Amino acid sequence: MAFESSCDDTCVALLERISPSIPIRVVAEARETLDSAQAGGVIPVDAVHFHQRHVARLAARVCALGGSGPAVPPDLICATRGPGMVGSLSSTLQFAKGLALAWNRPLVGVHHMLGHLLAGTLVESAENGQQTTVYTRPQYPFLSLLCSGGHTMLVLLTALDKHQILVDTIDIAAGDALDKSARCLGLRGNMIGPELEALVEGISETRKRVFRAVRTDGTNAQFPLKMSKPMTSAKHRRMPDTVAFSFASFSSCVDAFTRNRAVVGDLRDFTAFKIQEMIFDHILDRVNVALAKNAGTGVLDHVRDFVCSGGVAANKVLRHKLRSNLSRLFTFHFPLRALCTDNAAMIGNAGMEIFEKLRLQSSLEVLPMRKWPMESLMDVDGWEPVSDREYRRVTGF
Ligand code: AMP
Ligand code: ZN
C-alpha cells in the first residue's frame, strides 16, 4: 500500500507483485486534489488540513476496492518521505507509520523524485478481460527526464541507488513556467498545463504552420511577442562547462507581453503555441547538448532506455519532439498520461524496488524531509537492513 501527499494531491494505491519475474500490478487507486484555483496557488496549511481530512477515507476505499484490510493487510507500507512540503508529507507519512505498526508490516519512506524517475514504465495491460496497469522495468543504465511543476532534470540511473544529474534547472521548472505563462493568457484551474495543451491542440494545422514561421524577436507587427531561447547568446557557448535548463525567462517574457495588451483571439493562440514550442525545444536542445558533451566519455555507454516522467511528460507535443529526435538512440518509456502527475502507484513501485533490490526499510522514527537531494538517496537517517527472514515473510518469495 502506498501514500503520496508531497503537495496538493492526497493519493493512495494498492499494488501487487506475486513473483519477482512478474511485473508489479496496480490493483486500486484513489485520489483527492485540493482545489487551489481560487487561491492562485497551494496554501500549505490548507494542504495539510486537506490531506488529514481525506487520507483515512481514501485508504479505506482502496482497501475495499482491492480486497485488503485488517484481515488481509498489505505486505508493505510505502509513503513519500520527501522532498516536499513538510506538513503535507507528514500527514500521510504518520498515517502510514500507524498502519505499519498496527499491521506489523515494514515501512519504506520513498523519495518523491525516485517515484517519478521510475514511473515511465507503467503500462496498461488487459488481464482476464479487465484493463489493469502494470510496471515493466527499463534496463539499467537508463536516462530519465523528469519534467514536473517543481523539477526539471535529466538524470542517469546506473542502478536503483546510483543517480547522476546530467542537467538541472538553474531557476524554475518547466511546469512552473508553463503554468505561469498560461495564467498570463487567462487560463485558470488547478492543473493549467493540460488546458494550455488543449488550447494549442485546437489550433488548425494551417495556423500552426504560419505561427511556426514567425520569429519571436518583437519585430512582427501582427505577433510582436519578444521571447528568445535561453542560453544561446555568445556568452553561453554551444558546449558550456555545465549544461543547464532555464525556464524563468519564458514566463517573464509572457508576463511582460500580456501586461499592457489584450492578448486574445489569434494573438492568444500564437502566444500559447510559441510558449509550448519554445519551452519544449529548449528541453530538447539541452538534452542534445548533454548527450553531445558526454559522447565518447563512456558515461552513456550501454544506455538504451529513456524514461520521461512528471506532469509535463503527459504533453503529446513534448513526447513527439523527444521521440522524433531521439528514438534512433533510445527506446522511450512514457508513463500513462494519468500517472505522469503525482500519484501513489509510483511511490509503491519505487518502495517495492527499494525493499526488494536494496533490502532496506525505514525506521518508524523517520521524519518528512523538505529537501532531499537525489544524489543522497541513501545518505539519510532511518534506513534499516531487512533480514532474509523478514524478506521472505513480507514477499512470500
Ligand atoms: P507534477 O509536479 O509532476 O505533479 O506535475 C504538475 C505539472 O505538470 C504542472 O505544472 C502541470 O501544469 C504540468 N502538466 C500536467 N499535465 C500537462 C500537460 N498535458 N502538458 C503540459 N504540462 C502539464
Ligand atoms: Zn511530482
**Dihedral pair phi/psi, residue 5, rounded to 5°:** -155, 45
Stronger pLDDT, 125 or 365, i.e. the higher one = 365
Average of per-residue pLDDT across 379-397:
94
Q: Poorest-confidence range of 49-63, 165-179, 194-208, 325-339?
A: 325-339
The set of residues, in sequence order, having a beta carbon less than 8 Å from that of 269 and lying 6+ positions away, is 199, 200, 203, 207, 211
Nearest-atom number in ligand 1 for the CA of 316 is 19
pLDDT confidence of residue 280: 98
CB of 305 sitting under 6 A from ligand 1: no
The C-alpha cell of 368 is what?
518528512
Ligand 1 pocket: which of 34, 169, 178, 320 to mutate (most atoms within 8 A of CB): 178
Share of the chain above pLDDT 90, in %: 76
Task: Answer positive or negative: Cα dihedral of 388, 391, 396, 397.
Answer: negative
Cα of 218 vs centre of ligand 2, distance in Å, is 35
Average of per-residue pLDDT across 124-142:
70
Name the residue at shortest CA distance from atom 12 of ligand 1. 193
Cα of 226 vs centre of ligand 2, distance in Å, is 31
pLDDT confidence of residue 334: 86
pLDDT band at 142 (very low <50, low <70, confident <90, very high): very high
pLDDT per position as a tens digit, 156-208: 999 999 999 999 999 999 999 999 999 999 998 777 999 999 999 999 999 99
CB of 285 sitting under 6 A from ligand 1: no
Report whether pLDDT(321) > 80. Answer: yes
H/E run at residue 139: none
Cα of 175 vs centre of ligand 2, distance in Å, is 10
Cα dihedral angle (311, 314, 315, 318), rounded to 10 degrees?
90
pLDDT confidence of residue 125: 57
Q: Poorest-confidence range of 135-149, 269-283, 353-367, 373-387?
A: 135-149
3-state helix, strand, coil in the chain (%, to 5): 40, 20, 35
pLDDT confidence of residue 83: 94
Average of per-residue pLDDT across 340-364:
95
pLDDT confidence of residue 363: 98
Cα of 312 vs centre of ligand 2, distance in Å, is 10
pLDDT per position as a tens digit, 18-36: 887 777 888 999 999 998 7
Closest CA to 351 of 66, 68, 13, 8: 13
DSSP 366: -
pLDDT band at 86 (very low <50, low <70, confident <90, very high): very high
Cα of 193 vs centre of ligand 1, distance in Å, is 5
Average pLDDT, the chain: 92
Contact (CB, 8 A) for 107 and 365:
no
Average of per-residue pLDDT across 360-368:
98
The C-alpha cell of 276 is what?
509550448
Residue for grid cell 502494470: 134
Cα angle 31, 33, 39 (rounded to 5 degrees) comes to 175
CA–CA dist 119, 110 (Å, integer): 13
Sheet holding 130-135, edge to edge: 122-127, 130-135, 24-33, 9-16, 2-4, 77-82, 107-111, 360-362, 383-385
The set of residues, in sequence order, having a beta carbon less than 8 Å from that of 12 and lying 6+ positions away, is 1, 2, 3, 29, 30, 31, 55, 58, 59, 61, 62, 92, 344
Contact (CB, 8 A) for 12 and 91:
no
pLDDT confidence of residue 127: 57
